[in-house]
């Protein structure tokens, strides 16, 4: 019986140290951080994408060569390949059909759309 009490006291002591020790660490971490959230470039780009309306997007099925050239990472070669690969059911076909590389698609995906006639 005495052994059980000692074991129970040790268990309570260990659990309380773990619980209250963890709270002290959390309090220390939260007191050292600023209350303002950090702004990242990723958040800014997603805000820009959200701000573009459907009508502001460039339709890859009807855009001219000059309009396509104006997109970031798209030059004469890629714009001609986009035109030659028309029509597109969805904009991600540019990558699936290997018209442009994935890195280039990532740059322009928030600026384009593939509208159906």
pLDDT(49) > 80? no
Check if the beta carbon of residue 91 is closer than 8 Å to that of residue 109.
yes
Q: Which CATH superfamily hosts domain 41-113?
A: Photosystem II 12 kDa extrinsic protein (1.10.150.320)
pLDDT value of residue 4: 81
C-alpha 62/C-alpha 116 separation (Å) is 10
Sequence spans of domains, the chain: 1-34, 41-113
Containing 8, the helix (H) or strand (E) segment is helix 2-32
pLDDT(30) > 60? no
Per DSSP (E only), the strands in the chain are 58-59, 112-113
Please give the share of the chain, as a percent, with pLDDT higher than 70: 68
Beta-carbon contacts of 104 under 8 Å, excluding residues fewer than 6 positions away, are 73, 74, 78
Beta-carbon contacts of 72 under 8 Å, excluding residues fewer than 6 positions away, are 107, 108
pLDDT(26) > 80? no
CA atoms within 13 A on the CB side of 67: 13
Instruction: Read off the pLDDT band of 114 (50, 70, 90).
Output: very high
Beta-carbon contacts of 117 under 8 Å, excluding residues fewer than 6 positions away, are 61, 87
């Amino acid at each position: 019986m005495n052994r059980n009490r000692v074991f129970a006291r040790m268990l309570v002591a260990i659990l309380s140290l773990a619980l209250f020790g963890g709270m002290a660490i959390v309090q220390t971490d939260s007191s050292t951080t600023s209350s303002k959230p950090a702004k990242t470039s990723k958040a800014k780009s997603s805000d820009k994408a959200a701000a573009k309306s459907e009508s502001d997007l460039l339709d890859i099925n009807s855009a001219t060569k000059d309009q396509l050239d104006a997109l970031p990472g798209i030059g004469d070669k890629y714009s001609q390949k986009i035109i030659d690969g028309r029509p597109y059911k969805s904009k991600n076909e540019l990558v699936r059909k290997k018209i442009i590389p994935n890195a280039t698609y990532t740059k322009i995906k928030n600026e384009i759309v593939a509208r159906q006639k």
